[in-house]
Structures are given as C-alpha cells and as structure tokens.
Amino acid sequence: MKVTRREFFKLTGLAALTAAVVGCDWDEDPILSQPLTDAKEVTTICPYCSCGCGAICYVANGKLVSVSGDPDHPINEGALCSKGASLLNLNTVYNFRTHNAEINPNRLTKVLYRAPYSKVWEEKNWRWAMDKIAKRVKETRDASFEAQADGVTVNRTMAIAHLGSAALDNEENYLLAKLMRSLGIVNLDHHARL
C-alpha cells in the first residue's frame, strides 16, 4: 500500500481520535465464559463420608468442567462441605504455575499390583485382577472355613473381612452384603463409619 504524506497525517489523526474514544472505560459488567449452560448434567453421590450428599457433574464436550451440590437432593439440598466441594479435583487440578486445568496426575487409571514382599507396582488389566481376587478368595475361604465352633453350627470364615463404601448406593451395598454373607464372611464394615 502506497501512503502519501498527506494520507499518513490523516490516518494518524484518525488513529489518535479512535484511541481517545475507544480508550475510555466501557460501562459493562465483566462476564466470564463459564460454559455451564451448555454442559450436560450428570448426578452422582459424594464418595466421602456416609451422609451421601448428592452432587451434579457438569460435562461439556466429554470433559468434566465443574461439580456442585445437587439442589434437588433431599440430603444436602445443594450444599457441600469442603471435601465434597473438592470433588472436581479428583479428576482435574489447576497447575500452580501455569494456571491451566490438567488431569490430576495422582489419579489411578490402571490396575496396579504389588506382589507379596515386592517393592514395585506392576500394571495389570482388569481381567487378570478379577481372576486373581476370585482365586484368592476361594483359596482363603476353603482353607479357613469352619462349619462348627464350640458345638454350634456357624458356617463362617474369619480370615476375610469386607470394607464397604459410601460411594455405593443402597442396592449395590445390599448386593455386596448378600455376597459376603453367602461366602460366610462375618467381618463386614464400612470405610466411613461415623
């Protein structure tokens, strides 16, 4: 583009005028783009204590963007304590230096197995892990099962204990208790027994 001396001065003046006008503050509220309106809502239960507060996970483009209390849930009515309010951080954390969202690096996404007396964790697949658990349960139960104790029929194994979870719902807990009882396990407990 060829600019003559006259045009150059005209443009400079125009630019200065524009700067004088545009440089002024706009009387507008700042709006952050929080894409919650477009996000899909998925309800969940807080996995921490046994209160079982309801939470809503907001999913946009297949990614978890926010978690908040579920206002329709009868237990917490939209509120969450500090542990519940940090649910998002189980998945996403904000980098201290770059302020960017990234997947929590401490989150386990694969089955890890440490053999007895070993110092290293090995990555295994779910199929292997389920088979291993079933095999060990059967071995332990067969070895420790007692039909009678002090002349009373007990049909139990004292060698296995089961720890439930607050993250499970009523039906899952019912099925788990049923399974454990049928195996003869009497040591049932819960990880959030208050």
Partner 1 sequence: MANVVLVDTQKCMACRGCQVACKDWNRLPAGATKFRGNYTNPPTLQAHTWNHVVFTETDKGRWLFASYSCMHCTDAACINVCPVGAVQRTKSGTVWPDGDKCIGCGLCVQHCPFHVPQVSKATNKMGKCTGCAERVSQGLRPACVTTCPNGALLYGERGEMMQLAKDRVDALRRQGFSEASIYGDLEMHGLGRIYVLTEIPSAYGLPETPGYNASAWIWQLARRPLGTLTSIGLFSGLVVGFLRWRGERIQHKDNYSI
Which residues of the shown chain bind partner 1 in the complex (CB under 8 A)? 4-6, 9, 12-13, 16-17, 19-20, 23, 25, 29-32, 34, 37, 66-69, 76, 78-86, 88-89, 93-97, 99, 101
d(CA 90, CA 86): 7
- H/E element holding 189? strand 185-190
**In the complex, what is the shortest distance from the CB of residue 1 to partner 1, in angstroms, rounded to a whole number?**
15
Measured from the CB atom, is 79 or 183 closer to partner 1? 79
**In the complex, what is the shortest distance from the CB of residue 135 to partner 1, in angstroms, rounded to a whole number?**
41
**In the complex, what is the shortest distance from the CB of residue 168 to partner 1, in angstroms, rounded to a whole number?**
22
Report residue 155 as tokens: 């049909």
Other CB atoms closer than 10 Å to residue 166's CB: what's the count? 19
Other CB atoms closer than 10 Å to residue 99's CB: what's the count? 7
CA 16 from centre of chain: 53
Measured from the CB atom, is 65 or 185 closer to partner 1? 65
- Collapsed DSSP state (helix, strand, coil) of residue 142: helix
Measured from the CB atom, is 37 or 118 closer to partner 1? 37
Measured from the CB atom, is 90 or 112 closer to partner 1? 90
DSSP state of 72: T
Measured from the CB atom, is 60 or 101 closer to partner 1? 101
d(CA 98, CA 179): 48
d(CA 12, CA 127): 72
**In the complex, what is the shortest distance from the CB of residue 2 to partner 1, in angstroms, rounded to a whole number?**
11
**In the complex, what is the shortest distance from the CB of residue 120 to partner 1, in angstroms, rounded to a whole number?**
28
